[in-house]
């Protein structure tokens, strides 16, 4: 096979044009999608609203997290009715006894569901979450995890304010506590970057996921889509895949407010974090094609940006490359 034609190709031009293309793609994403988060302003309500809310927390062997974080959920400053349902999922630690002690103080607000049998063929926390939703007395559901604590006493109030007659799903932001070390910085950056994508896409009318650390939707949405029946066989997906299926450009709202966030303790070991991310990313292949295209194109442009910049600077013109950089 004659490959002599390769000698006539101007590789420096190809490298530069490839770098320029990747740069344009990055600029497009920042201007069309991510700027929506930067310029976000919540809609002004003509009158205040206070929906009854059911907060649902699923926990398995998280006695320390329950003792540390659940009081922050139970003492919310909310003028209307709200309940906290904790589904204790087959815990073998002291979770049961800690919940019983909290129940003495929060008799009317805290509802405990004890699960003592495993659900066959249903992976992850989809079964306990389904039980918690069925036990909920109110239409508006607010989900979080046992290792999360509200950033303020106004978390419940802020999250429910995003609802109106058309809105059925509200996406919130779940952040991580700041701590020393490179891993903590990486986790917080990756979490912010993921939120930047799913929040901006939702604002652009292309919702594709939410995070169970801070997520709200109406009970009717859950039953309309038959709960998690279509994803029961998967290890995850109770948050992102359910939102991917149930959300439309018209029934979803985004809430970006420092008082409406939750905070979690991040993983402290690299292996634990990598396992967590592998589990999270395993559901992405089940996203809708348009979501996979948008996410894949952006990821590819990110991955190629710096290598192409170096190649273009070395082979073409470092001054012109810096203009695009």
pLDDT tens readout for residues 4-52? 544 555 666 777 788 889 999 999 999 999 999 999 988 777 677 899 9
H or E stretch at 103: helix 95-105
Q: Give the pLDDT score at 15.
A: 75
Domain range summary for the chain, segments of one domain joined by +: 9-37+292-324, 48-287
d(CA 19, CA 231): 39
Distances (CA, A) of 297 to 28, 41, 132, 179: 11, 28, 38, 32
Q: Count of H helices and E strands in the chain?
A: 12, 10
H or E element at residue 311: helix 289-315
What's the rounded Cα separation, in Å, for the pair 24 and 27? 5
Please, which contacts does 24-28 make with residues 24 or more away whose CB atoms are closer than 8 Å? 25/297, 25/298, 25/301, 26/298, 26/301, 26/302, 26/305
Sign of the Cα torsion 310, 315, 317, 323 reads: negative
Q: Are 252 and 167 in contact (CB under 8 A)?
A: yes
> What single-letter DSSP state applies at residue 238?
T
Report which of 212, 202, 163 is spatially closest to residue 56, judged by C-alpha positions. Answer: 212
Per CATH, the homologous superfamily of domain 48-287 is: Spore Coat Polysaccharide Biosynthesis Protein SpsA; Chain A (3.90.550.10)
At 97-126, the pLDDT tens digits run: 999 999 999 999 999 999 998 888 788 899
Confidence (pLDDT) at 5 = 42
The rounded distance, in Å, linking the Cα atoms of 223 and 132 is: 13
pTM attached to this predicted model:
0.91
Q: What is the CA radius of gyration of the chain?
A: 23
> In which element (H, E) is residue 71 found?
helix 63-74
Least confident stretch, 77-81, 115-119, 148-152 = 115-119
CB 105 within 8 A of CB 75: no
| Main-chain phi, psi angles of 139, to 5 degrees | -75, -40
What's the confidence (pLDDT) of residue 6? 47
**Alpha helix (H) ranges present in 118-268?**
126-135, 155-160, 182-203, 219-224, 240-246
Average pLDDT score over residue span 145-153: 97
Output the CA–CA distances (angstroms, integers) from residue 169 to 209, 216, 262, in the order listed. 11, 6, 17
* Cα 299 to Cα 176: distance, rounded to the nearest angstrom: 23
């Amino acid at each position: 096979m004659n490959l002599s034609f390769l000698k006539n190709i101007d590789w420096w031009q190809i490298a530069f044009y490839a770098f320029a293309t990747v740069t344009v793609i990055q600029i497009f994403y920042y201007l069309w999608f991510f700027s929506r988060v930067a310029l976000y302003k919540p809609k002004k309500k003509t009158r205040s609203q206070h929906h009854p809310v059911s907060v649902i927390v699923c926990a398995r062997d998280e006695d320390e997290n329950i003792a540390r974080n659940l009081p922050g959920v139970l003492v919310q400053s909310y003028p209307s009715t709200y309940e906290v349902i904790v589904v204790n999922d087959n815990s073998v630690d002291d979770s049961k006894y800690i919940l019983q002690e909290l129940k003495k103080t929060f008799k009317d607000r805290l509802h405990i569901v004890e699960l003592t049998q495993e659900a066959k063929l249903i992976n992850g926390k989809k079964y306990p979450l389904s039980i918690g939703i069925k036990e909920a007395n109110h239409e508006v559901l607010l989900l979080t995890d046992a290792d999360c604590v509200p950033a303020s006493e106004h978390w419940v109030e802020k999250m429910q304010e995003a609802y109106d007659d058309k809105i059925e799903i509200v996406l919130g932001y779940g952040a991580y506590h700041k701590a020393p070390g490179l891993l903590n910085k990486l986790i917080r950056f990756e979490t912010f970057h993921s939120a930047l994508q799913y929040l901006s896409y939702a604002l652009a009318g292309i919702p594709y996921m939410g995070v169970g650390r801070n997520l709200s939707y109406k009970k009717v949405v859950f039953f309309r889509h038959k709960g998690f029946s279509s994803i029961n066989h998967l290890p995850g997906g109770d948050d992102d895949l359910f939102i991917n299926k149930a959300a439309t450009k018209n029934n979803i709202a985004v809430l970006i407010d420092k008082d409406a966030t939750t905070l979690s303790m991040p993983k402290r070991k690299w292996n634990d974090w990598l396992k967590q991310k592998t589990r999270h990313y395993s559901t992405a292949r089940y996203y809708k094609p348009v979501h996979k295209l948008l996410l894949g194109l952006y990821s590819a442009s990110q991955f190629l940006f710096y290598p192409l910049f170096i190649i273009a600077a070395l082979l073409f013109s470092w001054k012109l490359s810096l203009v695009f950089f």
